[in-house]
Structure 1
Amino acid sequence: MIQWLRRHAIDLGPLRSSRSFSVIFWGRLVSIAGIGVLSTAIPLQVYSLTGSSVQVALVATVMGLAGFAGALGGGLLADRLDRRRLILAARSAAIVGFILLAVNAFLAEPHLAAFHIAAAVDGLAGGISATALSAAVPGTIASEELPAASALMAVSLDLGMVFTPALGGLLYSVIGPGWLYIAVVLVSVASVALLWRLPSLHPETQAPEGPEVPAWQAGFSGALRHTVAQAWEDTREGIGYVARDRIIGPILLLGFIQLLCASPYVLIPEFAERQLGLGPEAAGLLYSAPAAGALLASLTSGWTGRVRSVGAVLLVVLCAASLGVLALGLTSSLPLALAAMALTGAGDVLAEIFRYAIIARRTPDRLLGRVSAVWSAQGTVGDTLGGPLLSLLAKVLGPGGAMVAGGAMAFVVSLGVAISGRQLRELQAHPSELESVDAQR
């Protein structure tokens, strides 16, 4: 039993071997705790003020668009600046947005515009921070520890999203939104304090052509002085690398399709009411089930670091996640629906573990920020378009039928890539990395 646990339990090696990674892990976990609370509190307050779900959606759209811009801009900056300073600056800017929410909540008549401003600030800051953090992680650990590090980063997200949305709803009703936002500010300050302990995380850069740039022009001011043409060239280089690479390109395409077709969250309330015949409590359980499945998969992900045929296993995992959504649409039983959602969450997080490890290994460090930005951007666009797509399908097919159609489409595309994408299907982990993981255990 002990031997089985050692082989399958999540690998904590990166937390022991790298102080920098440990700081990133704990700083991110604390930050997500605050974000999880906000994910419930902001919609509750906006709906309380307006009585309109459309207004709730508009605030979410502003945050999504700002996050998209932040991811792309953050990718450029993360490949030119000290990633530690970039993370700290972005996280500090997000705190300003949280303070605005707190001040607005204590007004006799809170302003709706404050939510849009805060969403823009926090979305932009979050996009920059997430991209810089993703680009920074590979430089803090050995290459063979990337699957374990990816699993640990997933755990930090899953832990936050399992408990804190429910906590946000409870605190909202007990202490009110103003004090809740103040609590989020304090938690965010604690996260910045943890991340302050990071060392400098400069990207690897190629020597620039042309005359040497004076020292006083380096750093943030130098990055801000970049011309639009140069910024576009930098962005195009990152996008071109993704498009040309026969492994990374298909991986990002598969992630986009998964979010576009097989992300059923916008249909959960309607599904619970119309197909299960149940109320908000069932919808809440269905929202929590993917995070619970993802957490279980992350905690038992020790085997991922020993997988040799990483490309084939990634494709199997993506197909399983698509089938989970399809199965959800077919059932009218709450226990089976919860199991299907948990399967979807487990498949999503395992796919994330393999995707991150593959992308980090294949991407030169000088491009990691821009490739991470493309990854974040495709996720944001897929999620933004996927909700309306499934909603339109639900008008014709019903919520369950839309889930079945979306899951089937994602499965067919994943299967098509598995059949036609020989390089991805046959991708192998380097033998020396597998030997190193076994030696550490």
Structure 2
Amino acid sequence: MIRWLRRHSIDLGPLRSSRAFTLIFWGRLVSIAGIGVLSTAIPLQVYALTGSSVHVALVATVMGLAGFAGALSGGLMADRLDRRKIILAARGSAIAGFALLAVNAFAAEPMLAAFHVAAAVDGLAGGISATALSATVPRTVEPTQLPAASALMAISMDLGMVLTPALGGLLYAVIGPGWLYLWVIAASLASMALLWGLPELQPGIDEQAAADPQIRQAGTLGAIRRTCAQAWADTREGMAYVARDRVVGPIMLLGFIQLLCASPYVLIPEFAERQLGLGPEAAGLLYSAPAAGALLASLSSGWTGRVRPAGRVLLVVLCASSLGVLALGLTSSLPLALAAMALTGVGDVLAEIFRYAIIAGRTPDRLLGRVSAVWSAQGTVGDTLGGPLLSLLAKVLGPGGAIAAGGALAAGLSAVVVLSARELRALRIESETPEEIIVPEADPSFRGADGP
């Protein structure tokens, strides 16, 4: 039994061997503990002010569009500048958006426009930070530890989200949203304090840039002042790599489909009220349930590092996630709805583990920022388009019908993509040596006396 548990429980190796990864893990966990409250408070407050899921979706759309811009610009910066500085600057900027939400919530008459402004600020900052962080992780661990690192990054998300959305729904009904936004600010400051301890994280060498004497002489200021034409050329290079690679491209498309069709979160307040006949507390539980399922899956994810036919496994877990969304839309029972959302979380996190490990292992370090940007962008675009589409569909089919239709469509389209992508189906995960890795032995300061 003990042997079985060791083989299947999550691999904590990256936390033991890399101080940099440990700081990223805990910094992200603390940040998400605040974001989990935010993910409940904003839709509940907007729905309470307007009584419309369309307005909830529009705020999400603004955040998604800003996140798209942040992901693309963050990808360019992450491949040119110190990624540590980018992460800290972006997270500091996001606090301004959280402060605006807090001031607005305590006002006698909260303004809907404030949500759109805050969503734009936080989406842009979040897109930049997430892209830089995603590009950083592969350089802090050994190549063979990428699946384990991916699972631990998923766990940092799950631990942060498993209780805080439910707590946010409960506290929203008791103390109101203003104090919840103050909690988000406090969590963001604590996260920045942890990430401050990261070492300098310069990107891998861009051979073309290194060969250009003008760029070489310009240094950091020259990189910032690069023309829009050059920036567009850099972006095109990352997009071309994604489009050209017959494994990375389909993986990106699968993520887009999932978020476009099977992301029911903008409908949760309306679903809880109309189909379940319950209030903010139930909505908070529904927001937390995917993280609970994902947490259980992540804790038992030790087997993922030994899986070789990754494409086939991706099909199974994505279909499981889509079927969970379908089941959610068909039920009017809170326990069954929570179980369906938990199943969705299981599928989502397992798919994320495999997708991240494959992409990080196949992509050269000098392109990781831009490829991470495309990954973040496809997610934000899918979520941005999917939210309004589902909210409009809910006017015809009701919230449950719209959710069920989206889950069924996502399962079907995902199957089509995987079945048509021969190289992805045949893919076997193998260890590769990246261009440059930051490991504890390279810098003694990365290791404490007893590990992390």
Fold shared per TM-score above 0.5: yes
2:376 corresponds in structure 1 to: 376
Distance change in 2, residues 1:113/1:417 (3 Å):
closer
The corresponding residue for 2:186 is 186
Structure-2-length-normalised TM-score: 0.87
* Equivalent-residue separation in structure 2 for 1:116 and 1:392 (angstroms): 19
8 Å Cα contact 2:168-2:284 kept in structure 1:
no
Deviates more, 1:120-129 or 1:277-286: 277-286
2:152 match: 152
Encode CA deviations 1:364-388: one digit per residue, 9 max, x unaligned.
Answer: 1111111111111111111121123
CA distance in 2: counterparts of 1:210 and 1:122, whole angstroms: 36
Q: State which drifts further: 354-363 or 340-349.
A: 340-349
SS at match of 2:213: coil
Q: 1:60 to 1:409 in 2, by over 3 A?
A: closer
The reply on whether 1:211 has 2:213 as its aligned counterpart is yes
Q: 1:272 to 1:167 in 2, by over 3 A?
A: closer
Pairing of 1:409-424 with structure 2 (within 5 A): 409-424=409-424
The alpha carbon displacement at 1:401 in A equals 3.8
Alignment check: 8 A CA contact 2:321 2:345 kept: yes
Aligned to 2:201: 201
Question: Match of 1:391?
Answer: 391
When residues 333 and 137 of structure 1 are mapped into structure 2, their CA distance, relative to the original with a 3 A threshold, is same
User: CA separation in 1, counterparts of 2:339 and 2:407?
Assistant: 15
Q: Return the offset for 1:337.
A: 3.1
Name the CA shift for 1:141/1:43 in 2 (closer, same or farther; >3 Å): same
The CA deviation at 1:270 is 4.6
Q: Provide closer, same or farther for how the CA distance between residues 115 and 396 of structure 1 changes in structure 2, counting only shifts above 3 A.
A: closer
Contact 2:44/2:269, CA 8 A, preserved across alignment: no
The answer to whether the aligner puts 1:408 opposite 2:418 as a matched pair is: no
Structure 1: how far apart are the matches of 2:149 and 2:260? 27
Asked if 1:237 is matched to 2:237, the reply is yes
* Percentage of identical aligned residues: 79
The whole-number CA distance in structure 2 between the counterparts of 1:174 and 1:274 is 22
Which residue number in structure 2 is paired with residue 344 of structure 1? 344
Q: What's 2:126 paired with?
A: 126
Q: How far apart in 2 are the matches of 1:71 and 1:48?
A: 31
State the Cα distance separating 1:58 from its structure 2 match.
3.9
TM-score by length of 1: 0.89
Equivalent residue for 2:440? none
**Do structure 1's residue 166 and structure 2's residue 182 form an aligned pair?**
no
Can you give the 5+ residue segments of structure 1 that lack an aligned partner in the other structure?
434-441
Structure 1: how far apart are the matches of 2:100 and 2:309? 49
Higher relative contact order (CA 8 A, sep 6+): 2
In structure 2, how many angstroms separate the alpha carbons of the residues matched to 1:98 and 1:275? Answer: 31
Show CA shifts across 1:191-238 (max 9, x none): 1111011111111122324324465x322x323311111111011111
Change (3 A) 1:109 1:357: same
Measured after TM superposition, the shift of residue 164 of structure 1 is 1.4
Q: How do 1:197-276 and structure 2 match up within 5 A?
A: 197-207=197-207, 208=209, 209-213=211-215, 217-219=218-220, 221-272=221-272, 275-276=275-276
**What is the CA–CA distance in structure 1 between the aligned matches of 2:55 and 2:332, rounded to whole Å?**
31
The 10-residue stretch of structure 1 (223-232 or 79-88) with the greater mean CA deviation from structure 2: 223-232
Give distance in 2, aligned partners of 1:97 and 1:270. Answer: 25
**Is the 2:165–2:285 Cα contact (8 Å) retained in structure 1?**
no
Instruction: Classify 1:109/1:408 alpha carbon distance in 2 versus 1 (closer, same or farther; 3 Å).
Output: closer
Structure 1 range deviating more: 57-66 or 44-53: 44-53
Change (3 A) 1:306 1:52: closer
The DSSP-based 3-state class of the residue aligned with 1:197 is: coil
How big is the alpha-carbon RMSD for the aligned residues of Structure 1 and Structure 2? 2.6
Q: Distance in 1 between the 2:111 and 2:277 partners?
A: 37
Which one is further off, 199-208 or 65-74? 199-208
2:293–2:345 Cα contact (<8 Å) kept: yes
Residue segments in structure 2 that go unaligned for 5+ positions in a row: 434-452
Q: Which residue of 2 aligns with 1:321?
A: 321
Structure-2 change in CA distance of 1:183 and 1:331 (3 Å): closer
Q: Which residue of 1 aligns with 2:292?
A: 292
Q: Report how far residue 105 of structure 1 moved.
A: 4.8
Report if aligned partners of 2:143, 2:431 keep a CA contact under 8 Å in 1: no
Q: Distance in 2 between matches of 1:57 and 1:273?
A: 17
Deviation of 1:313 (Å): 1.1
Query: Using the alignment, how far apart are the partners of 1:112 and 1:138 within structure 2?
Result: 40
